[in-house]
Amino acid sequence: MPSVASRPLALLRWAWACVPSGGSLPENVWRGRRRFLVGLTWFHAGAIALAGPVLGYRWELSLAAFGRSGYVLHTVAEGLIVAVFAALASWPRAGRTFQATAIGFGLMSASAVLVHLSGGYIEAHFHFFVMLAFLALCQDWIPYLLAVAYVAVHHGVVGVLWPDEVYNHQAAFDAPWTWAGIHAGFVLASCVGSVIAWRFNERAFAQTAMILEAAGDGIFGVDLDGRITFANPAAARRLGADARRLVGMPVGRILRHLKVDGTVIPAEDELVLAPLRDGAARDVTDHVFARLDGSYLPVDYVSTPVMERGQLTGLVVSFKDSTERHRTEAELQRSHRQLQATLEELQTTQRQMLLQERLRTVGQMASGIAHDFNNTLSPIVAFSELLLRRGAGAASGETADRYLDLIHTAAQDAAAVVRRLGDLYRERPDDAAQWPVNLPRCVAHTVALTQPRWRSQAQGSGATIEVDTDVPETLPSVVGDEAELRELLTNLIFNAVDAMPTGGAITVRARPEGDSVRLEVADTGTGMPEEVRQRCLEPFYSTKGQHGTGLGLPLVHAITERHRGTLAIESAPGRGTTVVIRLPVHAAPAPAPPEPPPAAPGRPLRVLLVEDELPVRTAVTHQLLADGHTVETAGDGREGLEKVQASWFDVVVTDRAMPVMNGDELAAEVARLGLDRPIVMLTGFGDLMAARRQKPSGVAVLLSKPVTLDALRQALALATAETLSRTA
């Protein structure tokens, strides 16, 4: 609670806060008000000087007439007194206070003269109150208080000593002090009203001035003549001038408007003052102001017209220094260029790293394919070597037939490995072939085919490895591709062998399990830690160092998924590993996959065989001779073309990839020459080309390598039949 003694003090502070500070008018506002008040003073001077003739006062040219009432020269003299004050208020070099004081004395003198001329009528006294209200427009305490003092002297001294000069009734003559007090009350009331209006006006201007002073952008006003009416400190600072000196100066003297290239903008194209011509605002960026000191300022500005009652009265220009923006933009551009350069370097590095990674991946993939291909070649080499030693008794009778069967199976698996290369260049279906597979026979063939290698590997390390199978013959067939399933089992068996460097046992077992077959490959090897087991299906992940490709188990996983099966791995260090694969059984009874009947030899043909590889040429030649055909050979496409032109052949069998002239060129040249020879083309990617409908021009039949006798017979039959139908 405030103390009782502090309340009067607080009241005084409040009263003082309500008192105007004075001298706070903006320069342009002050000049406008000064012109109005000076004009009002001149008006009173003229009106008083003319009052004598208008009122019918006497004309007399004498010095005495200047001091006598009722004479024209007397009113002229009184008008001259007011005119002197009006002239002093018009002095341009005088300060605000001096000019306002001159106006105050001029208007108060005019009021006193009008009271005198009216004979003291009470209505004339109101002129004092009105002039005091007008004088408050100057918002300057010194002239205002001097005007109030003037009224006090006039009524308090003249009105008391010579009441007939101020009043016109007997009551005032009898009690001049009373009437002076009454008039003082009216003056006080007039002053209070004027001061209150003054304070409100001052607050409004102060708020506007505060906003302008606090604004970070430069702001200045321009009148219809192109002169500055106000300018905030930011504008004066940026233009290098004093804010008070700016007011009233033409815009052209303060700044020159330039284009970005430094050329001066002509007056007719001046955008700052353009709203004065058409009333439309302008929002301009990247222009230049040339300041008073000759320096340059890049700016963005907005020039907005000011409308009062639908009339254009001027404009307001708001501008900001764009130096920092340009610097920031330049820095951003520099950073952008650096970033682009860095990104290009990163992209180059990334491309190099990607290329290296691809090369590494291709190398690993090639290593994996070579690994699988060597696996399929091992039984071919081993069993063919045993057959070649037949004379020494190494193999005979049923054993030789079994060896031949295994060699044939291994060769088919080798062809399947080569077909995997095609998967690198085309999209392969996710599903395996939909034929029923005899799993017991598949397991038996796989174990027999892998036996030479895993036994040799075990003997080389002095270890003993045994492979046992527990696959009942009554096991239902599964749906899939037998070659892929042999590849799956081969990878699992050799993974198990690698996990048993000191020897052990591998067990392959299979059992029915609902609508699937559970196939297990278990070993007694070292087993896998959990972190290895979690990652062992990732491509190229290997714990064998340089000896591993990391493709074995991922391939097993891929084959399992293509067969719509599932794969699980159970392993722990020291407890071995068991791979569990579940494959769906064939829904129908297990008929053997449809096999076309062996093709019978056709009629004897005269065949030209074009093949650059001697082993292939020899093998296909013997196949053709075995069916009774006449065969002539050529070592490349150029030689083959010469023989086609020189002799008649029923059919041309040509390889695709050959030196000098390849098979495509040979077929196209035969067609161009109109020789009308059916052509069978041999290629390692016949199925791929057929799937893509990429049969070269002039080729009748595509035949995939390795060439089987049945496939060769069917190809010759198709080619010759097509020729016969075309010539019929």
**What are the tens digits of pLDDT across the range 320-353?**
887 777 788 778 888 888 888 887 887 777 666 6
pLDDT at 531: 84
Place of tokens 């052990």: 504
What is the Cα–Cα distance from 702 to 682, expressed in whole angstroms?
Answer: 6
What is the Cα–Cα distance from 289 to 283, expressed in whole angstroms?
Answer: 15
- In sequence order, the 6+-apart residues with CB closer than 8 A to the CB of 179 are 155, 159, 163, 167, 171, 172
What confidence category does residue 366 fall into, taking pLDDT thresholds of 50, 70 and 90?
low
pLDDT at 1: 47
What confidence category does residue 650 fall into, taking pLDDT thresholds of 50, 70 and 90?
very high
Question: Quick count: other Cβ atoms within 10 Å of Cβ 681?
Answer: 26
pLDDT at 659: 85
Mean pLDDT for the stretch of residues 607-619: 88
DSSP bridge pairs for 186: none
Question: Quick count: other Cβ atoms within 10 Å of Cβ 205?
Answer: 15
Question: Quick count: other Cβ atoms within 10 Å of Cβ 497?
Answer: 24
Type of residue numbered 287: H
Is pTM, for the whole model, over 0.75? no
Mean pLDDT of the chain: 76
Identify whether 706 is preceded by a cis peptide bond (ω within 30 of 0).
Answer: yes
pLDDT at 653 over 90: yes
What is the Cα–Cα distance from 500 to 514, expressed in whole angstroms?
Answer: 33
The CATH number of domain 216-321, selected from 3.60.21.10, 3.40.640.10, 3.30.450.20, 3.40.50.720: 3.30.450.20
pLDDT at 569 over 60: yes
pLDDT at 634 over 90: yes
pLDDT at 592: 47
pLDDT at 424: 43
Mean pLDDT for the stretch of residues 537-559: 72
Contact 588, 607 (CB under 8 A): no
Token pair, residue 123, equals 């209505």
What is the Cα–Cα distance from 706 to 416, expressed in whole angstroms?
Answer: 10
Strands 228-231 and 218-223: antiparallel
pLDDT at 66 over 90: no
Question: Quick count: other Cβ atoms within 10 Å of Cβ 720?
Answer: 19
What confidence category does residue 160 fall into, taking pLDDT thresholds of 50, 70 and 90?
low
Closest to 559 measured CA to CA, from 577, 588, 579? 579
Token pair, residue 224, equals 């219809």
Mean pLDDT for the stretch of residues 627-639: 92
Place of tokens 């009774």: 628
Place of tokens 């490995």: 417
Task: For CA atoms 177, 181, 183, 187, give the dihedral sign.
Answer: positive
Is 335-428 CATH 1.10.287?
Answer: yes
DSSP bridge pairs for 701: 680
More confident residue, 43 or 536: 43
Contact 118, 124 (CB under 8 A): yes
pLDDT at 318: 85
Closest to 563 measured CA to CA, from 656, 482, 470, 493? 482
The CATH number of domain 606-727, selected from 3.40.50.10710, 3.40.50.2300, 3.40.50.920, 3.90.1420.10: 3.40.50.2300
Q: SS3 sequence, 217-239? A: CEEEEEECCCEEEEECHHHHHHH
Structural Rg of the chain based on CA atoms:
59
Cα 657 to Cα 155, 396, 426, 661, 683, distances in angstroms: 132, 40, 20, 9, 8
Map residue 594 onto helix, strand or coil.
coil
What confidence category does residue 311 fall into, taking pLDDT thresholds of 50, 70 and 90?
confident
pLDDT at 28: 64
pLDDT at 389 over 70: no
Mean pLDDT for the stretch of residues 246-265: 71
- In sequence order, the 6+-apart residues with CB closer than 8 A to the CB of 19 are 195, 199
Highest mean pLDDT among 16-30, 91-105, 635-649, 690-704: 635-649
Q: Does the fold of domain 431-584 match that of domain 335-428?
A: no
What is the Cα–Cα distance from 125 to 115, expressed in whole angstroms?
Answer: 6
Cα 245 to Cα 34, 249, 254, 303, 703, distances in angstroms: 17, 8, 10, 21, 101
pLDDT at 189: 64
pLDDT at 643 over 90: yes
Q: How much of the chain exceeds pLDDT 90, in percent?
A: 13
pLDDT at 426 over 50: no
What confidence category does residue 546 fall into, taking pLDDT thresholds of 50, 70 and 90?
low
pLDDT at 429: 45
pLDDT at 356 over 70: no
Mean pLDDT for the stretch of residues 345-371: 61
Contact 634, 608 (CB under 8 A): yes
What is the Cα–Cα distance from 302 to 250, expressed in whole angstroms?
Answer: 19
Map residue 574 onto helix, strand or coil.
coil
Map residue 261 onto helix, strand or coil.
coil
pLDDT at 591: 47
**All structural domains of the chain with their residue ranges:** 16-213, 216-321, 335-428, 431-584, 606-727
pLDDT at 590 over 60: no
Question: Strand ranges (DSSP E) for 514-657?
Answer: 516-523, 566-571, 577-584, 606-610, 630-634, 651-655
What is the Cα–Cα distance from 551 to 530, expressed in whole angstroms?
Answer: 19
pLDDT at 651: 94
Cα 579 to Cα 19, 464, 491, 514, 570, distances in angstroms: 100, 21, 11, 19, 6
What confidence category does residue 428 fall into, taking pLDDT thresholds of 50, 70 and 90?
very low
Task: For CA atoms 455, 457, 461, 466, give the dihedral sign.
Answer: negative
Instruction: Give the tens place of pLDDT for each residue, 710-724.
Output: 888 888 998 888 665
Instruction: Give the tens place of pLDDT for each residue, 180-211.
Output: 666 666 666 666 666 666 666 666 665 566 66
DSSP structure class, residue 500: -
What is the Cα–Cα distance from 340 to 359, expressed in whole angstroms?
Answer: 28
pLDDT at 140: 76
Task: For CA atoms 397, 398, 402, 404, give the dihedral sign.
Answer: positive
pLDDT at 534: 83
Phi/psi at 637 (nearest 5 deg)?
A: -65, -35
Mean pLDDT for the stretch of residues 59-71: 74
**Angle, helix 27-55 to helix 72-89, in steps of 10 degrees:** 170
Mean pLDDT for the stretch of residues 56-79: 77
Map residue 648 onto helix, strand or coil.
coil
What is the Cα–Cα distance from 434 to 480, expressed in whole angstroms?
Answer: 5
More confident residue, 581 or 340: 581
CA terminus-to-terminus distance, the chain: 128
Place of tokens 């006193």: 112
Give the CATH H-level superfamily of domain 431-584.
Answer: Histidine kinase-like ATPase, C-terminal domain (3.30.565.10)
Contact 654, 611 (CB under 8 A): yes
| Residue 691, H or E segment | helix 686-691
What is the Cα–Cα distance from 673 to 654, expressed in whole angstroms?
Answer: 17
Highest mean pLDDT among 69-73, 79-83, 172-176, 260-264: 79-83
